[in-house]
Amino acid sequence: MKYLLLLSFCFLFLQGKAQDSDSSNEPDSIKKTVLATYYHRKFEGRRTTSGAKYRAKKLTAAHLTLPFGTLVTVTNPDNGKSVVVKINDRGPFSKRLAIDLSERAAKQIGIYSKGIAKVSLSYTLE
């Protein structure tokens, strides 16, 4: 009986380890609550750090450390509205702020009139 219990325990333990190793191949989803702002209109048409031109009508954003091309879901916790933006620039260069949104993205989640707002970021690094 002791051997049966020991074998059962070993089987369950090894099965759990196998599942852990399978899930390690999947990228981790990261969620953060940060302060966001948006680009001023004077930046329209200027080159971003990635080389693309900033367009207020596109769903793009600037972040200091995320790789260019990272898709980030930005959610306004006050109204629950979300938008998916693509990182194509560096900034904001303030210790308080974590992300600069394009004008369209800021309007879509309802923070355009606020200037600075608390948002939730969700993204996956591969």
CB atoms within 10 A of CB 103: 19
Three-state secondary structure string covering 9-56: HHHHHHHHHHHHHHHCCCCEEEEEEEEEEECCHHHCCCECCCCCECCC
**21, pLDDT greater than 50:** no
Asked if CATH classification 2.40.40.10 holds for the domain at 27-125, the reply, yes or no, is: yes
Provide the residue ranges of all domains of the chain, joining segments of one domain with +: 27-125
| pLDDT tens-place string over residues 54-94 | 999 999 999 999 999 999 999 999 999 999 999 999 999 99
Tokens of 60: 């793009």
Nearest CA to 74 out of 113, 114, 41, 32 is that of 32
- Give the span between the Cα atoms of 118 and 35, in whole angstroms: 4
Q: Can you tell me which residue has the tokens 């969700």?
A: 122
> Mind listing the pLDDT tens digit for each residue in 28-64?
889 999 999 999 999 999 999 999 999 999 999 999 9
